[in-house]
Amino acid sequence: MKRLFDKDTWQEIFGSIQKNKVRTVITMIGVLWGIFIYITLAGSSKGLDNGFERAFQSIASNSIFVWAQYTSIPYAGYKSERAIQLKLGDAEIIKKRVKGIKFIAPRQVAGVFGSAGGNIVRGNKTGTYAIYGEFPEYIKIATAKIFDGGRFINNSDIEKERKVCVIGERTLAELFEKGEDPIGKFISINKLNFVVVGVHKFVQGGGFGDDGDIYIPFATFKKIFNTGDDVSFFMVSADENISGLEVEKNIKVTLKQIHKIHPDDDRAIGGFNLGEIFRKTMNFANGLTFLSLVVGIATILAGVIGIGNILLISVKERTKEIGIRRALGATPSEVRSQIILESVFLTILAGVIGIILGALVLYGINAATEDMTDFPYTNPTVPIPYVLGALALMITLGTLIGIIPAQKAVSVKPIDALREE
Amino acid sequence: MIKIKDLHKSYKMGSNSLHVLKGINFNVEEGELVAIMGSSGSGKSTLLNILGMLDLLDEGSYDLDGVPIKNLDETKAANYRNKFLGFVFQSFNLINYKTALENVTLPLYYQGVKRKEREEEALRYLDQVGLKEWATHLPSELSGGQKQRVAIARALVSKPKVLLADEPTGALDSKTSKEVMALIQDINKNGKTILIVTHEEDIAKMCSRIVRLKDGVIMEDKKNKMIKAI
């Protein structure tokens, strides 16, 4: 141990390493490559992980869609194949009976599921877009964000049945001049004039919808389309600390009770759980991280074995040198520790260079993908414990692998070593 | 200085055993310059290897300056070699990627001498063999004679009790051989005990005593009137 901190030991090692440059470089490439792959992979999978998280952060990751379909089991005097219609009043009952609901937003829609959309006219520009009847709760659950300067539907819009609307980015581009501020302008929906109060930016986050959707107050919707208290579907966000699956199940049970559906009828009420998809995606990302760790460590291992291999050859090459050293008074332990220290030193040096190169590549990828919002890749970093762990692994492996050539170096008798030509 | 009694050494070659040294008795006094002569196979190199603790004896005893050399393990042998002995080889055995100076400092490194002291000491010995200006040169930049002189400086730097030279002139031309022998005689004159293994008659004549080996026994052991090399 004393030798480890002796300046002379290191000068001896540097000397031997420096004067065998080709050997040193070849030896290092293996480990350098290994740690480089490890860092790049680990960082990239972390970046992907962050990217997925970013993609999902715009939506409450615990959100659930629930809609009604046709019954498949006769129940309570009703026959099978009965169409179920969700009603506005269901929302209150669900909220009362199901625990863990943060927000519930009943929604009506025209323009998807085969129904006709709204005909929109502005001046001489026209288009057909999906029209949604909304409550203010929706924006707290959804992926859509409202651009600065505008607002979403509020409670007073509902109470007063105002003819206001929130249009999509695409709608804006198609109905308005470039650079024109749409807020306060009128557009005609099914021949009724609506004031634009906001523009939403749509972010893909599962479910349906697109950047052309137009949102109007629920109360206004039901008057225009004459849908009464009908609801197309409920969008629900569950409390973070509660299982989304549990909430979805309880909502379905409640809806089955309200609409007199057989408790075992799985077809009548449909559901889609974004939290579940989120969880699965994050599992996938975790799996990827794990995979990259395994691959990275295996590559480091291969690199370190390469170091051992080359040191073994180099020990053979240096048999005579080692013989001379021993004739001059080097003890076996001095020879051994020099070779092991060379191995460890080369491993660490190569490792550190590999880490730096890997970090540079990660930085490069990050810079190149920074503007690509569709590409799920953000802030690729390698956690410090991973880096330290890799270094510790390398030192351990470097020592262990160095023991083999070191042992070989001292196993040759000095007299035989000197005879070697 | 050296006391050898009933020394036997044999090598196992498969099922056969080759008896190389068959009872050597021989003493060397301090300050002697001894030539060990013999044709190849006579056992002279084996004897030198045993004296140099590079090889172990089978039977008999070996005392070096009053220290019985026995029960040698590699570490003990290494320490004894480092403290008591200096080696000069036929093929010089310099480390090719180290400069002349670094080669000479090596025994001191293994003695744990500090770098600065090491280099001062090594430079002093390089000066003694006349190669001070060549200190920073690599062995590949030196002539055969110069390499051997570096090797001699390296052998002397640890102030050994005995200098062991295995055919020190074997790879040199006759002119350079004489120069190297002159250096060895010089060192001997300063009191160093030196053993030289050689098969060249004129090299042996430059020593103060000639021991002739044949088939593992000493045939002749006589004082010699030392001829000056130059």
Residue A353 is which amino acid?
Answer: I
Q: Do B54 and A20 touch (CB under 8 A)?
A: no
Listed in order, strand segments (DSSP E) in A26-152 are: 63-68, 86-87, 101-110, 118-122, 125-129, 131-134, 145-146
Which residue in chain B is spatially nearest to A20 when comparing CA positions? B97
pTM to 2 decimal places: 0.67
Residue A49 exposed, middle or buried by CB count within 10 Å (0-12, 13-18, 19+): buried
- Is the pLDDT higher at A11 or at A359? A359
CB < 8 Å to A328, chain B? 81-82, 87, 106-107, 110, 154
What's the CA angle centered on A215, arms A213 and A220, to 5 degrees? Answer: 140
The pLDDT of residue A31: 82
DSSP notation for A1-47? -GGGG-HHHHHHHHHHHHTTHHHHHHHHHHHHHHHHHHHHHHHHHHH
The pLDDT of residue A203: 67
Q: Are residues A71 and A116 in the same domain?
A: yes
Q: Do B111 and A329 touch (CB under 8 A)?
A: yes
- The closest alpha carbon to A49, from A319, A344, A386, A316, belongs to A386
Tokens in use for B127? 């000066």
Among residues A216, A247, A274, the one where a domain terminates is: A274
Q: Are residues A21 and A70 in the same domain?
A: no
Does residue A235 register a pLDDT over 80?
Answer: yes
The pLDDT of residue B12: 85
The pLDDT of residue A274: 79
Give the distance from residue B102's alpha carbon to the nearest chain A alpha carbon, in angstroms: 10
> Which range is least confidently modeled, A131-135, A278-282, B142-146?
A278-282
* Number of alpha helices (DSSP H) and beta strands (DSSP E) in chain B: 7, 10
- The closest alpha carbon to B61, from B18, B26, B12, belongs to B26
Chain B CB within 8 Å of residue A227 CB: no
Q: Are residues A241 and A377 in the same domain?
A: no
What are A31-40's pLDDT values in tens digits?
888 888 888 8
Q: Do A332 and B75 touch (CB under 8 A)?
A: yes
Chain B CB within 8 Å of residue A327 CB: yes
What's the CA angle centered on B229, arms B226 and B230, to 5 degrees? Answer: 130
The pLDDT of residue A421: 60
H-run or E-run covering A415: helix A414-419
Q: Are residues A147 and A203 in the same domain?
A: yes
Residues facing A119 on adjacent strands = A128
CB < 8 Å to A413, chain B? 54-55
Tokens in use for A366? 């990050």
The pLDDT of residue A142: 75
Residue in B74, B89, B98 nearest the CB of A332 = B74
Among residues A247, A274, A301, the one where a domain terminates is: A274
Can you give A148-212 as a three-state secondary structure string? Answer: CCCCCCCHHHHHCCCCEEEEEHHHHHHHCCCCCCCCCCEEEECCEEEEEEEEEECCCCCCCCCCC
The residues, ordered by sequence, that sit 6+ positions from B30 with a Cβ below 8 Å of its Cβ are B1, B191, B193
The pLDDT of residue B88: 93
CB < 8 Å to B82, chain A? 328-329
Residues 168-227 of B with CB under 8 A from A: none
| Mean pLDDT, chain A, whole residue set | 85
Does residue A41 register a pLDDT over 70?
Answer: yes
Residue B124 is which amino acid?
Answer: R
Q: Strand, helix or coil at B187?
A: helix
Q: Tell me the average pLDDT across A383-405.
A: 86
> What domains are there in chain B, each with its CATH number?
2-223 (3.40.50.300)
Q: Do B75 and A418 touch (CB under 8 A)?
A: no
Q: Tell me the average pLDDT across A337-349.
A: 85
Q: Do B54 and A418 touch (CB under 8 A)?
A: yes
Q: Are residues A285 and A412 in the same domain?
A: yes
The pLDDT of residue A143: 62
Does residue A205 register a pLDDT over 70?
Answer: no
The pLDDT of residue A157: 92
Which residue in chain B is spatially nearest to A8 when comparing CA positions? B115
Give the distance from residue A21's alpha carbon to the nearest chain B alpha carbon, in angstroms: 11
Rounded (to 5) percent helix, strand, coil in chain B: 35, 30, 35
Q: Tell me the average pLDDT across A72-91.
A: 91
Q: Strand, helix or coil at A382?
A: coil
Q: Are residues A87 and A216 in the same domain?
A: yes
- Is the pLDDT higher at A25 or at B151? B151
Q: Are residues A255 and A118 in the same domain?
A: yes
> Diameter of chain A by CA atoms?
106
Chain B CB within 8 Å of residue A325 CB: yes
Specify the DSSP class assigned to residue A396: H
Number of domains in chain A: 2
Tokens in use for B149? 């002189």
The pLDDT of residue A198: 92
- The closest alpha carbon to B105, from B154, B47, B50, B59, belongs to B154
Selected residue of B110, B113, B161 to mutate for chain A interface (largest A Cβ count, 10 A): B110
Tokens in use for B200? 């060249």
The pLDDT of residue A61: 63
- Is the pLDDT higher at A246 or at B150? B150
Q: Are residues A224 and A102 in the same domain?
A: yes
Using pLDDT thresholds of 50, 70 and 90, give the confidence band for residue A208: low
Q: Do A325 and B52 touch (CB under 8 A)?
A: no
Q: Do A327 and B154 touch (CB under 8 A)?
A: no
- Quickly tell me which residue has 């969008």 as its tokens: A235
Q: Are A52 and A282 in contact (CB under 8 A)?
A: yes
What are B178-223's pLDDT values in tens digits?
999 999 999 999 999 999 999 899 999 999 999 999 988 999 999 9
Q: Do A328 and B82 touch (CB under 8 A)?
A: yes
The pLDDT of residue A303: 82
The pLDDT of residue A2: 55
The pLDDT of residue A304: 82
What are A282-328's pLDDT values in tens digits?
888 888 888 888 888 888 888 888 878 888 888 888 888 888 998 88
Q: Strand, helix or coil at B80?
A: helix
Pairing of strands A118-122, B85-88: unpaired
Parent domain of A402 = 2-57+279-419
Top mean-pLDDT range of A136-145, A173-182, A196-205, B182-191 = B182-191
- ipTM for the complex shown: 0.90
**Angle between helices A332-369 and A384-411 in degrees, nearest 10:** 150
Residue in A8, A323, A421 nearest the CB of B109 = A8
Tokens in use for A221? 């919707």
Tally C-beta pairs within 8 A across A and B.
70
Rounded distance, CA A58 to CA A219, Å? 27
Chain B CB within 8 Å of residue A11 CB: yes
- Is the pLDDT higher at A11 or at A75? A75
CB < 8 Å to A324, chain B? 93-95
Give the distance from residue A9's alpha carbon to the nearest chain B alpha carbon, in angstroms: 9
Q: Are residues A104 and A123 in the same domain?
A: yes
H-run or E-run covering A213: none
What are A152-165's pLDDT values in tens digits?
999 999 999 999 99
Residue in A19, A330, A413 nearest the CB of B97 = A19
The pLDDT of residue A148: 79
The pLDDT of residue B123: 95
The pLDDT of residue A87: 93
Q: Are residues A215 and A74 in the same domain?
A: yes
The pLDDT of residue B152: 94
- Is the pLDDT higher at A229 or at A382? A229
Residue in B87, B98, B115 nearest the CB of A327 = B87
- Quickly tell me which residue has 């994050």 as its tokens: A282
Give the distance from residue A372's alpha carbon to the nearest chain B alpha carbon, in angstroms: 54
Rounded distance, CA A185 to CA A196, Å? 6
The pLDDT of residue B40: 83
pLDDT of chain B along its 230 residues, tens only?
A: 899 999 999 988 888 888 999 999 989 999 999 999 988 888 888 899 999 998 888 999 999 988 898 888 888 999 999 999 999 998 899 998 889 999 999 999 988 888 899 999 999 999 999 999 999 999 999 999 999 999 999 999 999 999 999 999 988 999 999 999 999 999 999 999 999 999 899 999 999 999 999 988 999 999 988 888 87
Q: Are residues A389 and A332 in the same domain?
A: yes
Phi/psi region, residue A246 (left: phi>0; alpha: psi -120 to 50; beta: rest), is alpha
Q: Tell me the average pLDDT across A9-14.
A: 78
pLDDT > 70 in chain A, percent? 93
Among residues A274, A305, A330, the one where a domain terminates is: A274
What's the CA angle centered on A116, arms A110 and A119, to 5 degrees? Answer: 90
H-run or E-run covering B196: strand B193-198
Rounded distance, CA A198 to CA A195, Å? 9
Q: Do B54 and A415 touch (CB under 8 A)?
A: yes
Rounded distance, CA B48 to CA A241, Å? 84
Selected residue of B54, B88, B158 to mutate for chain A interface (largest A Cβ count, 10 A): B54
Q: Are residues A243 and A288 in the same domain?
A: no
